[in-house]
Structure 1
C-alpha cells in the first residue's frame, strides 16, 4: 500500500496510535510548558475580539483545560479522534472527529479563534522518493515487514505541488531524495478557512519553507519520549513537518484576508511572554512569588528557544468580517 494509506491507518485506524495512546507519554509539546501557551491563546482571542476558541486536534484537552482556568468566559470547543476526556471541565464542548484531515460537519467556526496546534503535521500525506533517474516516485510499504519500495509516479496534482513547493535543488535532484506532498494539509486548512467567516485561524507546527526543504524529507516517529524510525504499525506517532508557506497560500486562495507567518519566539514575545528572571530582591520579601517567577521564566525560555519549541512556525490568517488587523500588525512586527 502507499505510505500515506499505511500512515492514516497507523494513526487513526481502529487500533491506531491516536485512538489508544496517551500522546503526552510519547512526545512533548508547548502545552507541556505550564499555562503560558494558554495565556498567549487567551490574549489572541481578546485582541481579535473573539469569545470562542475551537481547538482542532485537541489531544486530551490539556490546552482547553488551561484556557478554561485562565479565561472562564471563553466558549471552548475541542475536536479530536478520541471520545470526550473524562477529566475535561463540563463547560468545554467536545466534538469527536474521524481523524486526519477529516473534520465533523457543523463545527461552530464562525466568529471564532480556530486553533490547529500541531494538527497538520499529523495529517497523512503522500511520501515520494527520487528514483535512479531522478524522477519522483510514490513510496509503498509492505504491511507486516514495513519494507519500502517505489511505485508509480505521483499524480499530476502532486507533481504540480512538488514543482511549486519542493523545487529541484541546484544541480538537480539526487536519487534517494524524499519529500512529503502537502496537498492534504493545504486542502484541510483551506476547508477551515472557507468554513470560518469573521474568524482568526492559527496553525502552529514543525515547519520548513520552500528555500530550505530537507532533501531527505522530514518523516519521523516518536515513541516513549524519543525519536524513532517512522514505522506505520500503530506503535508510535508518525509525523512530518509542515510546509506552512504552502498552507498559507492555500488559505489565501480559500478566502483568507490577511496572513502573518512567523516563528513561535516572535509570536509569543509579541504577546507578552519573555524569559526574564524576577528581581532577586523579591526572594527576601516574597519567596513564593520569587519561585513562581523563576518557574514562569523557565517555562518561557523553553517556549522561546529558537533551537527548540521557539522555532515552531505560526501561521495566522483572518477571514473577512473579523477585527484582528491590529493584532496581526503587532504579531507580524
Structure 2
C-alpha cells in the first residue's frame, strides 16, 4: 500500500484530476458555508466592498477578488448587492481551480490564481482550511515526526522527524511537548496567504475560516472530513472534503495593519443582526413581518458564536485606511515580525 505525507495526499484528494473540488456538484453539494446560509452574507461583503472603495478614494477600477470562489455563489451575490455607482468601475475575479460555472455574468474574470497589481477587496471565505498541509505528532521520546497516511484507507503511521523549517514553525506557533500531541504545520498556508495579499497594490485582504490562535491550539489537531452534509473520517481518496482549522495568527502578514475578530463581530459591524422585528409589524403588515422574521433567523445563524459566527476573520489593509465599519471592531493592531 502507498504511504504519503499528509500534504501531498491532501493535494491529490482535493485538487487532483479526480479530486473533491473538481466534482460537478461543487462544495454546496456537501456542506453549507456562510454564502449558502443566507444572502445577508453577500450583502455584508458588498457593503465592505463599498467602504473599501470609499477608503481608497474611489479608484478608476475597483477589484473584487473572490479566492476559493467555488461555483461563484459569493461573486453573484456581491454583484447583485453592489450599488449602481460601482457598476462601471467594478472588476470581479473568481479564483478557483474548478471550471468556470455556467451562468456567471460575463464581467467576471475566472482564473486559477489571484491577479497581480489590483486595487480593491480580496476576500477568501473558507479557502485557507483547504490549503494542504503536513501533520506531525510527538512520539514517545518527545520527537516531532511527520505523519504518513494511506490515501485509500486513511490509516496513519509515524515517519521521519520534521525538517528544520517545520520545526521552527512549530516551536513558534504550535509548540507540542507531550506524546500523542499533533501539530498541523501551517507554513504552506502562511505562504499562500502572503502570496494572495501580495497581489494587492492597495486594498483590503480578508480571510474567513474556522480558526484558532496560539493560546488555544487543539492538542490533537482538527483534521476532519465532510461528505453529503455530515462529518466523516478524513480519508484522502477524493470522496470527501479534507480540512483542518487555520492558525490565522500565524498567517497574518507582518507589518500590515491587521484585525483579528469573530464573524459575529465583523458581520454585526457590517449591519447583520439577528434581532427580531418589532411585534407591531405583525399587525400592520403580516407579510413584511414574516419576511423580516425569516431574515432575522438567517442573520442569527450567520452570527451564532457556536456556529458560523465563531469563524475567525483576519483582515489586513494594504496602503489604505481601515474601512469605517471595521474601525469600531476591537482588535486592530500593527503586527510586526
TM-score by length of 1: 0.90
- 1:92 is matched with 108
**Aligned match of 1:100:** none
Query: What pairs up with 1:1-333 in 2 under 5 angstroms?
Result: 1-20=4-23, 21-49=25-53, 51-71=62-82, 73=87, 74-95=90-111, 97=112, 103=113, 107-108=115-116, 110-168=118-176, 173-248=177-252, 251-252=253-254, 256=256, 258-320=257-319, 322-324=320-322, 326-332=324-330
Pairwise CA distance, 1:276: 0.9
Partners of 2:97 and 2:163 in 1: CA distance: 29
Is contact 1:179–1:218 with CA below 8 Å preserved after alignment? no
| Structure 1 unaligned regions, length at least 5 | 98-102
Distance 1:230 1:294, change over 3 A: same
Alpha-carbon distance in structure 1 between the residues aligned to 2:43 and 2:106:
20
Query: Residues 157-192 of structure 1: CA distance to partner in whole angstroms, max 9, x if unpaired?
Result: 100000000123xxxx22221111000010011112
Q: Deviations over 1:103-134 (max 9, x none)?
A: 36xx1552110001100000000111111112
Once the two structures are overlaid, the 10-residue window that deviates more, 54-63 or 134-143, is 134-143
- Distance in 2, Cα, partners of 1:91 & 1:290: 36
Structure 1: how far apart are the matches of 2:116 and 2:44? Answer: 22
- C-alpha distance in structure 1 between counterparts of 2:164 and 2:308, whole Å: 35
Residues 142 and 178, structure 2, Cα contact 8 Å, conserved in 1? yes
Q: Which residue of 1 aligns with 2:59?
A: none
Q: Which deviates further from its counterpart, 27-36 or 68-77?
A: 68-77
Offset from partner CA, 1:262-300 (integer Å, 9 cap, x none): 000111111111111111221222222112111110011
Q: Structure 1 residues 127 and 165, CA, compared in 2 at 3 Å: closer, same or farther?
A: same
Number of residue pairs the alignment of both structures matches: 315
Q: Report if the CA contact (8 A) 2:276-2:296 is conserved.
A: yes
C-alpha distance in structure 2 between counterparts of 1:277 and 1:109, whole Å: 43
Instruction: Write the deviation string for residues 240-261 of structure 1: whole angstroms up to 9, x where unpaired.
Output: 000000011xx125xx3x1000
Q: Is the 8 A contact 2:266 2:326 kept in 1?
A: no
Tell me which stretches of 4 or more aligned residues in structure 1 moved more than 6 Å. Answer: none
